[in-house]
Amino acid sequence: MTQGRSDVAANIGRIIRAARKIFAKEGASATMSRIAATAGVSDATLYRHFPNRQVLAAAVYEDIFMSQVKPAILALCDNPAPELYVDALVHLEDVMFEQRPLLASLDDLANLTVDFITCDRDLFDDIILQCQASGILRPDLTADEVATFVAMVTTASVAMNQPKPARRRYLRLMVDALTLNAASAQAAPAGDGRHHDSQRARKSTRRS
């Protein structure tokens, strides 16, 4: 890495760490100038990398998601038991709950959460297909539908400020609804079925 790129990466790292600290302390009242001062960079440097607070807040949320939530998702590859899915989702909600001052600066939390859940598409597709092959997950669901469902339920639960026992119960109900046993003889099709077929086709193409 050249010195210039190293300096850029260092500045971005300092800005994200400072923003995480300031957002946690001041929430929606946090200013870009305050974050720049805490990071030890000029306002111009901050705005060059993050043109507005939405972009910066999203970058902070991504950093938190990748460091605190993704490891729980990765662990599901080794043991895709239903209760471990509940545990992983509870952990996601706990992280969101702790970061409510930051999340108040995000207008599109649910869609961002979907993007971060599916950012490693091959891994997420593998987890979904593994669960379907083992009979844990309904076969009529696509990876995109699972990610969207998870994001909708977790973000809504946190927004409603529900106590942790209630949040876990709703997540347990959601996981139960996604399991194979919940699929009736006349399960609603996922669109026209092409999304699920294309998901398997992508996996087959990558492995051939």
Widest pairwise Cα distance in the chain: 62
Whether residue 130 is found in the same domain as residue 77: yes
pTM: 0.81
pLDDT at res. 187 = 46
As for how many domains the chain has, the answer is: 2
pLDDT at res. 148 = 95
Half-sphere exposure of 54 (CA within 13 A, CB side): 5
Segment holding 64, helix H or strand E = helix 53-64
Whether residue 84 is found in the same domain as residue 2: no
* CA nearest to 202, candidates 122, 144, 117, 148: 122
Give tens-digit pLDDT for 115-170: 999 999 998 998 888 888 888 889 999 999 999 999 999 999 888 988 989 989 99
Last residue of a domain, one of 51, 75, 90: 51
Whether residue 123 is found in the same domain as residue 158: yes
Domain that holds residue 76: 53-207
Whether residue 58 is found in the same domain as residue 75: yes
Give tens-digit pLDDT for 33-75: 999 999 999 999 999 999 999 999 999 999 999 999 999 888 8
Whether residue 8 is found in the same domain as residue 67: no
Q: Residue 4: which CATH number?
A: 1.10.10
Q: Residue 141: which CATH number?
A: 1.10.357
Last residue of a domain, one of 29, 51, 73: 51
Give tens-digit pLDDT for 158-205: 889 889 899 899 998 988 888 866 544 344 455 544 455 555 555 555
* CA nearest to 50, candidates 37, 64, 35, 65: 35
Whether residue 87 is found in the same domain as residue 175: yes
pLDDT at res. 185 = 37
Whether residue 108 is found in the same domain as residue 190: yes
Contacts 24+ apart (CB under 8 A), 75-79: 76/127, 77/123, 77/126, 77/127, 77/130
Whether residue 158 is found in the same domain as residue 82: yes
Whether residue 100 is found in the same domain as residue 189: yes
Whether residue 131 is found in the same domain as residue 57: yes
Whether residue 45 is found in the same domain as residue 87: no
Whether residue 112 is found in the same domain as residue 45: no
Last residue of a domain, one of 51, 67, 84: 51
